[in-house]
Amino acid sequence: MKTKATLVYFVNQHMSITNHMSFRRNYLSMSTLLHIDSSPLYGRSVSRELTAAFVTQWKASHPDGRVIDRDLNATAMPPVNAEWVGAVYTPEQARTPQQKELLSLSDSLLAELEQADEYVIGVPMHNFGVPSVLKLWIDQIARVGRTFSYGEGGPKGLIIDKKATFIIATGGIYDAQAQMASFNFVEPYLRSVFGFLGVTDATFLTAGGTSVLNQGQDRNAFLAPHLQSVQTHAQTFQGEHA
């Protein structure tokens, strides 16, 4: 009887391990990454090169995963106006065809957010803040009833169980101990607005001092530690779901 019980125990253990490994493979296979770039510099962009490295590593870890690419500089992103706000606060079933058209871009961007499990967002610092196209995108996806709500307990973020990685490139050095630290409005803003929307699992990777590339410093040498940091982080994300 003891031998039979031992055999049953090992069979159950094997099944448990097999099921766990199957779940992990399925999770990685089904994962979706939303890749957003906001730099207008394209081939010269540090943030774009780093997000591309992240995506490459992510694909290697998720061979059957899906990547949604959103280039904010290639997307016509109108500013929010009174008609748009009116459409948002009109109950969905009561919206006119014109109001539905006004919200069509916002609906598409929200669908990308909802479909993805993880976000990687490239953000160059512009005038100490985020690029205008990124702010316009945030205005399109920050919608009451879709990404946040208000109740008796106050505001509640509705984008939950997501992970965001922000890859920031700054011309100067704005680290916490740097002389210009108080001029950095990028990370505090993004951390606050995404936290408000429910995305509290956020990592910020910053390549500071990119202005040296305009002064002749070797690009590959400058990027090497930042590429390593991005790739390591992408690998760590895979391990966290093991």
- Domain of 85, CATH number, reads 3.40.50.360
**Each residue of 86-142: pLDDT tens digit?**
999 999 999 999 999 999 999 999 999 999 999 999 999 999 999 999 999 999 999
Q: State the pLDDT at residue 238.
A: 56
Beta strand pairing status for 66-71 and 32-37? Answer: parallel
pLDDT of the residue at 192:
98
**pLDDT in the model for residue 115:** 97
Residue 174 falls within a domain, yes or no? yes
User: What's the whole-number average pLDDT of the chain?
Assistant: 89
Is residue 97 in some structural domain?
yes
**Cβ-based neighbours of 213, under 8 Å, separated by 6 or more:** 46, 219, 222
Residues of the chain predicted below pLDDT 50: 7-11, 14-28, 239, 241-242
Q: What is the pLDDT of residue 116?
A: 97
Is residue 3 situated within a structural domain?
no
Q: Is residue 215 part of a domain?
A: yes
Q: Quick one: pLDDT at residue 30?
A: 80
Residue 77 has what pLDDT? 94
Asked whether residue 1 is assigned to any structural domain, the reply reads no
Assess contact for 141 and 106: CB atoms under 8 A: yes
Domain encompassing residue 37: 32-240
Please check whether residue 125 is in contact with residue 135, taking contact to mean a CB–CB distance below 8 angstroms.
no
Report the C-alpha dihedral over residues 45, 49, 55, 58, rounded to 10 degrees: -140
The answer to whether residue 220 sits within a structural domain is: yes
Q: CB of 166 within 8 A of CB of 65?
A: no
In a domain, 17, yes or no: no
Domain count, the chain: 1
Residue type, 212: V
| CA 90 vs CA 48, 100, 101: distances in Å | 38, 10, 13
The percent of the chain in helix, strand and coil, each rounded to the nearest 5, is 55, 20, 25
Rounded CA gap, 43 and 21, in Å? 40
In a domain, 6, yes or no: no
